A and B are shown apart, each in its own frame.
Chain A
């Protein structure tokens, strides 16, 4: 695998003196999907803006597809497509013209078959001669994607592509992303929705207050941080963990009808056998037993809590 995006010691201090990015290091492999998770104001947009040439970094270096974004900015930018967070389009322009404009602006010759194909894939072909202002919000977002893809970039940045988008359209968007990945496009997307990262990303990065807290393969992340819970539902409620079970990491569930055991799936011994034996020895009668894996959301929240502490 080759590194397609390399961010080294990136800092950004805005004119007012606010430090939005503090020493960011990030490497992205060609063809992967990275989801950047972070609360409002974490610096996600600033990071993308610095990579795409919209703001000037205060320190550090960035290269895209092996091209430095300052000394070799043309080659670097040709490799990048950007879908911004805010919808910004010229209201009176026709869909197809604005997409053609983007292609030309990025130095590519006019190719009607390519543009037609792109618009068809984004379900915009029927709307090609409509003015932007005649489109719905979701369609406008797709026009932004079409513009970003018009010059056949190798890396696509999607800054909150599904903010304010209904469930169906969100699924659409995920399909588009999956398609692009098949074609080998590297995708970096920011999102507040954990499900989104969980659904489509290969790796997940968490950013908060201008720092990257971690970047991990999604599966590994969930495995490593993923604690599992075993819930033992009881026939009769109890008020406290019985004396004989105190050696296990147990707590009493809501309204006393269950015991909840937290364990680590990656450990050699989970301690489940012993627990269940002890529960039987105590003479508790069980109604049901179930397990739960913590979601990325739990992980995310616990990371941010740790960071705040």
Chain B
């Protein structure tokens, strides 16, 4: 392993993040606060408690997940697409690194950024609602796993994309709907039975449910199923990355 290379990529990417730290943090914090104002205060006051949790508090895990997933994907996909776009990718190709090291550097940095943003949103939400976290360690574990899996997914997206439109299309058309329909703002038990069944095909449901369990000890699906789901998603992304590594897909002519 060329750990020096992994570290270099990671540090370089994190430096970029900290260089634009204001932009990187302000937008997620502002939009989360807006969600709290709209859903928590305005609508939430008319909503009944869900299994003993106020609606304002209930949406916190979903909000964090929403941001963390989109941030992981956009950071990682942009991180690896950018060198391709401006042509500096040649250096990675000519360096004594293998694909795994490149992934660790880029996806690792993207996951770290998303994780930090997730923690900041959690901090922000304490300003709006009272929450106690039932299983703090499980909460962190879910958060880390989600950041990593979605960063891997974003990395694949960035390798695949040929232009900026493609880079934004997939998150917009696929990921955002899955996240919104994944129970970020509601419990899927609130849906009619048909939609409950359909929802079970949405992988994001499992992630949000598991994450919510870590907060409140309640979940739409058993927490073991959630863990299993995220492990499967992680494994699929990892397998795909491994395949890219072997075939050089979209990397070397």
> Which A residues contact B (CB, under 8 angstroms)?
14-15, 52-56, 73-78, 80, 82, 84, 86, 88-92, 97, 100-109, 147
Segment from B33-41, B58-66, B82-90, B207-215 that makes contact with A: B82-90
B165 at the interface (CB under 8 A from A): no
Q: Give the docked Cα–Cα distance between A265 and B83 (Å).
A: 54
> Which residues of A sit under 8 angstroms from B4, Cβ to Cβ?
104-105, 107-109
Q: Give the docked Cα–Cα distance between A264 and B9 (Å).
A: 58
B2 at the interface (CB under 8 A from A): yes
> Is A97 touching B12 in the complex (CB atoms < 8 A)?
yes
From known contacts A105-B9, A105-B95, infer whether A54 and B19 are also in contact, taking CB-CB under 8 Å: no
> Is B86 touching A104 in the complex (CB atoms < 8 A)?
no
Q: Give the docked Cα–Cα distance between A212 and B251 (Å).
A: 28
> Is B93 touching A101 in the complex (CB atoms < 8 A)?
no
> Is A105 touching B253 in the complex (CB atoms < 8 A)?
no
> Is A54 touching B90 in the complex (CB atoms < 8 A)?
yes
Using CB atoms, name the residue of chain A closest to B101.
A105
> Is A101 touching B8 in the complex (CB atoms < 8 A)?
yes
Q: List 19 A-B contacts (CB under 8 A).
A: A15-B253, A54-B93, A54-B94, A56-B252, A56-B253, A74-B2, A75-B96, A77-B94, A77-B95, A77-B96, A78-B96, A89-B86, A90-B83, A97-B12, A100-B8, A105-B4, A105-B9, A107-B4, A108-B4
Closest beta carbon of chain A to B86's beta carbon, Å? 6
> Which residues of B sit under 8 angstroms from A80, Cβ to Cβ?
94
B181 at the interface (CB under 8 A from A): no
> Is A90 touching B88 in the complex (CB atoms < 8 A)?
yes
Q: Give the docked Cα–Cα distance between A265 and B91 (Å).
A: 47
From known contacts A56-B252, A74-B2, A104-B8, infer whether A88 and B95 are also in contact, taking CB-CB under 8 Å: no
> Which B residues contact A (CB, under 8 angstroms)?
2, 4-5, 7-9, 11-12, 15-16, 19, 82-83, 86-88, 90-97, 248, 252-253
> Is A88 touching B252 in the complex (CB atoms < 8 A)?
no
Closest beta carbon of chain B to A72's beta carbon, Å? 10
> Which residues of A sit under 8 angstroms from B94, Cβ to Cβ?
52-54, 77, 80, 82
Q: Give the docked Cα–Cα distance between A55 and B93 (Å).
A: 9
Q: Give the docked Cα–Cα distance between A172 and B226 (Å).
A: 63
4 additional contacts, CB 8 Å, given A104-B7, A105-B95?
A: A52-B93, A74-B2, A74-B96, A107-B96
> Which residues of A sit under 8 angstroms from B82, Cβ to Cβ?
90
> Is B88 touching A89 in the complex (CB atoms < 8 A)?
yes
> Which residues of B sit under 8 angstroms from A89, Cβ to Cβ?
86, 88
> Which residues of A sit under 8 angstroms from B88, Cβ to Cβ?
88-90
> Which residues of A sit under 8 angstroms from B5, Cβ to Cβ?
104-107
Closest beta carbon of chain A to B158's beta carbon, Å? 15
> Is A107 touching B2 in the complex (CB atoms < 8 A)?
yes
> Is A101 touching B96 in the complex (CB atoms < 8 A)?
no
Q: Which of B8, B15, B86 contacts A105 (CB 8 A)?
A: B8
Closest beta carbon of chain A to B105's beta carbon, Å? 9
Using CB atoms, name the residue of chain B closest to A157.
B94
> Is A101 touching B87 in the complex (CB atoms < 8 A)?
no
Q: Give the docked Cα–Cα distance between A101 and B9 (Å).
A: 7
> Is A147 touching B91 in the complex (CB atoms < 8 A)?
yes
Task: List the 3 shortest-distance A-B pairs measured between CB atoms, nearest first.
Answer: A104-B8, A88-B87, A74-B96
Interface centre among A88, A90, A104, A105 (most CB of B within 10 A): A105
> Is A106 touching B253 in the complex (CB atoms < 8 A)?
no
> Is A97 touching B15 in the complex (CB atoms < 8 A)?
yes
Closest beta carbon of chain A to B216's beta carbon, Å? 43
Interface centre among A75, A77, A92, A108 (most CB of B within 10 A): A77
Closest beta carbon of chain A to B250's beta carbon, Å? 12
> Is B91 touching A105 in the complex (CB atoms < 8 A)?
yes
Closest beta carbon of chain A to B79's beta carbon, Å? 12
> Which residues of B sit under 8 angstroms from A53, Cβ to Cβ?
93-94
> Is B96 touching A55 in the complex (CB atoms < 8 A)?
no
Closest beta carbon of chain A to B227's beta carbon, Å? 36
> Which residues of B sit under 8 angstroms from A106, Cβ to Cβ?
5, 95-96
Q: Give the docked Cα–Cα distance between A105 and B94 (Å).
A: 10
